[in-house]
Structure 1
């Protein structure tokens, strides 16, 4: 996996962009990503025990974030939140994978549990960009209609 500092930089860039230029859905997903990262950091096992068994704290955080993403997706009029919820579901399956196979290597379990946050953040960036551009076009059309 990528170094933690690189992840934090990507998280800050994606969520900062969403907070500055996004609408309600973008900001809620960004807040959930930041909150989930902070909560995960608090509940992770010590480094020497990390991902050796099921990370129950991380599982709880992942399921809570999944619920948040599903609620956002069900209330949104856009498609991108469905992708975010689906990828978070895939993240949650990493815990089920460890539960079914206790011999799963800690590195594989950890990678499966952490990988999908990168595409989630990328989708947040793309969704925010497209929403921002859509709002700019609508404002421009409104101004042109008023001027005519």
Structure 2
């Protein structure tokens, strides 16, 4: 629900960066639910298909960050990088407890959504100020 609420907010009130990041979040979540292992075996081994999804999401976030004139997309890309590093950790240490691996993959999605919400709020506020200024300037 939080994902849908924040992405809807980003699509309705955000700029290009906010919309793209929101869409990447939704698509990444949907694809992950399709490729993740069944619950009984989840996070027991390296979730290779989820790794591919997380790498694609990281690439999308980095692309937004590189073309954006805002700072918040860098944070989103950096947090997604920590998720990818969780896969690397499981690949290096196969005895990693499945719950720790799962937590490492899921934890950073919430701060990413909060940063997206903050970026959307600021973009909307900035556009409103610019509109107000253009209406009052002769």
Task: Decide: shared fold, TM above 0.5.
Answer: yes
Match in the other structure for 1:127:
119
Structure 1: which 5+ runs fail to align?
1-8
Partner residue in 1 for 2:28: 36
Q: Could you say which residue in structure 1 is the equivalent of 2:110? A: 118
Q: Secondary structure at the match of 2:58?
A: helix
In structure 2, what is the equivalent of residue 108 of structure 1?
A: 100
Select the residue among 54, 60, 63 that pairs with 2:55.
63
SS in 2 for 1:103: coil
Determine the C-alpha separation between the residues in 1 that align with 2:117 and 2:38: 32
Aligned match of 1:98: 90
Distance across 2 between alignment mates of 1:81 and 1:67:
12
TM-score by length of 1: 0.92
Cα RMSD for the two superposed structures: 0.5
Under a length normalisation based on structure 2, what TM-score does the superposition of the two structures give?
A: 0.99
Count residues with an aligned counterpart.
Answer: 138
Separation in structure 2 between the aligned mates of residue 14 and residue 121 of structure 1, nearest angstrom: 7
Structure 1 match to 2:76: 84
Q: CA deviation at 1:100?
A: 1.1
Distance 1:46 1:138 in 2: 50
Q: Give 1:51's aligned residue.
A: 43
2: CA distance between counterparts of 1:32 and 1:53? Answer: 26
Could you list the structure 1 runs, at least 4 aligned residues long, displaced by more than 3 angstroms after superposition: none
What stretches of structure 2 of length at least 5 have no aligned partner?
none
